[in-house]
Structure 1
């Protein structure tokens, strides 16, 4: 049995193109979802997987409807294989129930692994080059030393609350507590 899965990222997007293609592909039931592809928690996909039985095929209009990243796609298809469920993508003409479809899918997976390795390599090289120039990574601190000094001075006054001090300095109370873990007692 072919089971369809259609997904859009926002409610403003239209599912008609996907559902029409899935109907034409002979899907007996179509699960529809509005969720970001990066989001791992997709209730309708989980319902589809729970509904399916060994020998069924999960059909999507396009690969990116099932997963945002190649790693997520590979993980999902491997889960389907463990359950004895096939996978088919209409746009890319991939069908993991055929040897050729599995070959194409594995080639995609190998290319994705290669791409991730190159990205890691470039990122590491960029960070090393920045460090060699004396730059360090990460966010800039929200509070300067003078901001912390001002906050401590303000917190010495029992009439001024932590929320007000944070507001005056332009940060949230949580940020102020991060810089002054003792709160008012750490102000001295």
Structure 2
């Protein structure tokens, strides 16, 4: 079994001291290979971690000092765990004494999946910045209520009400 250490200087840490602490901890845990990576922008791929996940073999173990060094969201973390599992490898987090092996690993994955369900997906419905008055007017003339107009146009009900009031004011003037 190859122990692969992964150290990342996170956004919240300052200076090289934290990275040096991670490296010392990974060496103490017996990592034969240690790779480091600078902080990456949220959502951007971490190239060193991606290379490890492509390289890691069955029976190997990826070791990190803190869980947040692997991902910025639960969904990304689940992806890392799934990729490790698909390759027959495991994960060990030293600060929390967590592992994806055995019963504890199944519990960890279950918790991560539950938390991941609470996070919005990248494809989550996003509201439009505003609806055109003519769209609202046309739907209202067709007998569609304000709540349904808001749903169809992907705007808030308040936006629809505000536009309807503006149109009424303009009609009176």
Determine if the TM-score, normalized by the shorter chain, exceeds 0.5.
Answer: yes
Q: How would you bin the TM-score normalised by the shorter chain? A: 0.5 to 0.7
CA distance 1:109–1:93, change in 2 (3 Å): farther
Q: 2: distance between equivalents of 1:37 and 1:95?
A: 26
Over residues 10-39 of structure 1, what are the superposed CA-to-partner deviations in whole Å (9 max), with x where a residue is unaligned?
695320121122112221111000131624
Q: 1: distance between equivalents of 2:41 and 2:95?
A: 17
* Larger RCO (alpha carbons 8 Å, 6+ apart): 2
The aligned residue for residue 107 of structure 1 is 111
Q: 2: distance between equivalents of 1:69 and 1:78?
A: 14
Instruction: List runs of 5+ in structure 1 lacking aligned partners.
Output: 136-188
Question: What is the root-mean-square deviation of aligned Cα atoms in Å?
Answer: 3.0
The aligned residue for residue 166 of structure 2 is none
Q: 2:88 aligns with which of 72, 77, 84?
A: 84
Asked whether the equivalents of residues 37 and 64 of structure 1 are also in contact (C-alpha less than 8 Å), the reply is no
Taking structure 1 as the reference length, the TM-score comes to 0.59
1:4 Cα deviation after fit: 0.5
The aligned residue for residue 7 of structure 2 is 6
Matches within 5 A, 1:1-188: 1-9=2-10, 13-14=15-16, 15-36=19-40, 38-116=42-120, 128-134=156-162
Q: 2: distance between equivalents of 1:93 and 1:37?
A: 27
CA distance 1:12–1:55, change in 2 (3 Å): same
Q: 2: distance between equivalents of 1:102 and 1:46?
A: 23
1:105 Cα deviation after fit: 2.7
Asked whether the equivalents of residues 53 and 83 of structure 2 are also in contact (C-alpha less than 8 Å), the reply is no
3-state DSSP class of the match of 1:87?
A: strand
Asked whether the equivalents of residues 61 and 90 of structure 1 are also in contact (C-alpha less than 8 Å), the reply is yes
Asked whether the equivalents of residues 88 and 96 of structure 1 are also in contact (C-alpha less than 8 Å), the reply is yes
Asked whether the equivalents of residues 74 and 115 of structure 2 are also in contact (C-alpha less than 8 Å), the reply is no
3-state DSSP class of the match of 1:134?
A: helix
CA distance 1:105–1:13, change in 2 (3 Å): farther
Instruction: List runs of 5+ in structure 2 lacking aligned partners.
Output: 128-149, 164-173
3-state DSSP class of the match of 1:88?
A: strand
1:60 Cα deviation after fit: 0.8
CA distance 1:4–1:37, change in 2 (3 Å): farther
